[in-house]
Amino acid sequence: MACASPAISIQNQSQDFSQNDYLLDTEWDFNHTNVTRRELPLFIHKLYETHASLFPKTTTRILFNTNNNGSSRIMKFNLNSLKPNKEQVLEADLYFFWPLDSNSTIYRESVVMRLYQFEKQKDAAAGDSAAENPDIHKVFNVIYISKAQRGWQTFKIKKPIDNWLNGEENLGLLLTISSYDDNKLITIFNDTNNGIYSTFAIITVQNNDTVSSFNTVEYKTHGTPTNCQRTEWNVNFQYKNWNKFIISPDGFRAYDCSGKCLGTEEDHENHLKLLYTYHRRPPCCVPVEYSPLPIMFYDKYGNVIIKNYQNMIVTKCGCR
C-alpha cells in the first residue's frame, strides 16, 4: 500500500505566486514584475559555478554601485539586504573595471590606488565637492600597480562594511589614483561602467539559514520496479514565473519517490507493520535523504544573491 497523495491540478501555462505557494526563502517575497535582469560580469557566473561544485555553508551577496551614472565620484552600495543580527560578514571585496586608455600618460606606469571611506565633514562644503580633497576622509586600503593598464582591480572592503553595519553613516567610497614617485593626485575614479563591466561588491556572509537542519535517518529501500524507489521529477522555474528573479539555474532534477511499501515477502521495520495492521495509516514511500542546490537570484533591492538551499534534490527513498 502506498501513501495517498493530494490531488494536484497541473496546468500547461506558467503561474504566478498564489496564497498556496510555499516560498523557499522570505527574500523571494516581493513584486517580481519590477525586477530588471541586468547583464552580469562573467566573474559573478563563475562564483555561481563555485557554489555548485563546493556547496559552501555561506551566502554570497553581490551589491552594485548605485552611483554609476557618472554624476558622482562616490561609489555607494545599498546594504539594506544585509542582516547584522542574523548574518556575520566574513569577507567583502570591491571589484571595479579600470578603463585606462593606452594613450594615457600613466599607461604602463607605476601608480598608487587609495580607497577611502567617505565621511561627513563639519563644514558646509562637505558633499561631493569634498572629494577634491580626499585626505580628509578615512583611508583604509592602498594598492600599488607597477604597470597600470586597462582591466579589473580589487580592494578588500570588510572594514568599511563593518563600520556601516555598526552604525556609521554609509556615505560611500572614494577611489583615487596617484603617481608612485611623487604621490601626486592624478585622478579620482568616476564610475560610468555598466553591463559586464559593472562595479560590484562581493559580501560573503555566514547565515544560519544556509546550515541544514535535516537529520539523516537510515530507512530500508528497495530497488524493484514495484517497490519504493526514486522517480524522475524535473522542476522548471518558469512554470511559476520564478524565472523573473532566479538567474541560475533555469530548473533542476528534484526527483520524487513512489512505489509500494510493505510487500508480503519483504523485510520491513516492525513499526511499519504495526501501522498497517492497526489501520493507523498506510506506510509511505518518501524521500529520506537529500542534496543541496545553489540558486542565484535577484532580491528586491536589485542585488544578486547566491545561496545554497538544503534538502532540494532527493537522493534516496524509503518507507516510513
Q: Minimum mean pLDDT among 11-20, 48-57, 299-308: which range?
A: 11-20
Least confident of 159-173, 264-278, 299-313: 264-278
The answer as to whether 297 is a domain residue is no
| pLDDT score at 159 | 95
Q: Are residues 149 and 254 in the same domain?
A: no
In a domain, 13, yes or no: no
pLDDT for 222 equals 42
* C-alpha distances in Å from residue 123, one per residue of 72, 184, 203: 19, 25, 33
Q: Is residue 14 part of a domain?
A: no
Q: What pLDDT, in 10s, does the model give residues 109-162? A: 999 999 999 887 666 454 445 555 677 788 888 999 999 999 999 999 999 999
Number of domains in the chain: 2
* pLDDT at site 218: 41
Write b or e for each residue in 259-274: b if 16 or more Cβ atoms lie within 10 A of its Cβ, otherwise e.
bbbbbeeeebbeebee
Does residue 299 or residue 280 have the better pLDDT? 299
Q: What is the pLDDT of residues 40-63, one digit of tens each?
A: 999 999 999 999 999 898 999 999
Q: Domain limits at 278?
A: 229-290+309-319
Query: For residue 15, is pLDDT > 50?
Result: yes
Q: Within this chain, do residues 236 and 170 fall inside the same structural domain, yes or no?
A: no
Q: Quickly list DSSP for 163-222.
A: HHHTT-----EEEEEEETTT--EEEE------GGG--EEEEEEEEGGGS--PPP------
Predicted confidence at residue 34, as pLDDT, reads 85
The CA-atom distances, in angstroms, between 13 and each of 16, 114, 238, 250, 253 are 10, 53, 9, 16, 20
**Which cell numbers hold the place of 221?**
529501500
Distance of alpha carbon 315 from alpha carbon 303, whole angstroms: 32
Rounded to whole angstroms, how far apart are CA atoms 203 and 79? 10
Same domain for 163 and 79: yes
Q: Are residues 204 and 109 in the same domain?
A: yes
pLDDT mean over 176-198: 92
Q: What is the mean pLDDT of residues 12-37?
A: 76
Residue 28 lies in a domain: no
303: which residues sit within 8 A by CB, 6+ positions away?
61, 62, 63, 64, 78, 81
Selection from 5-9, 34-38, 46-50, 268-272 with the highest mean pLDDT: 46-50
Mean pLDDT value across the chain: 84
pLDDT digits (tens, 9 = 90+) for 83-108: 888 889 999 999 999 999 999 999 99
Q: Which pLDDT score is estimated for 122?
A: 65
pLDDT in the model for residue 83? 87
Residues 6+ apart with CB under 8 A from 235: 251, 252, 253, 254
Same domain, 233 and 205: no
Would you state the pLDDT for residue 7?
Answer: 42
Q: Are residues 90 and 190 in the same domain?
A: yes
Domain C-terminal end among 178, 210, 242:
210
Query: Cell triple for residue 316?
Result: 534516496
CATH number at residue 235: 2.10.90.10
Domain shared by 60 and 161, yes or no: yes
pLDDT confidence bin for 262, thresholds 50/70/90: low
Q: What pLDDT score does 204 carry?
A: 96
Indicate if 233 and 175 belong to the same structural domain.
Answer: no
Instruction: Count Cβ atoms below 10 Å from residue 287 Cβ, excluding itself.
Output: 18
The position carrying cell 589614483 is 177
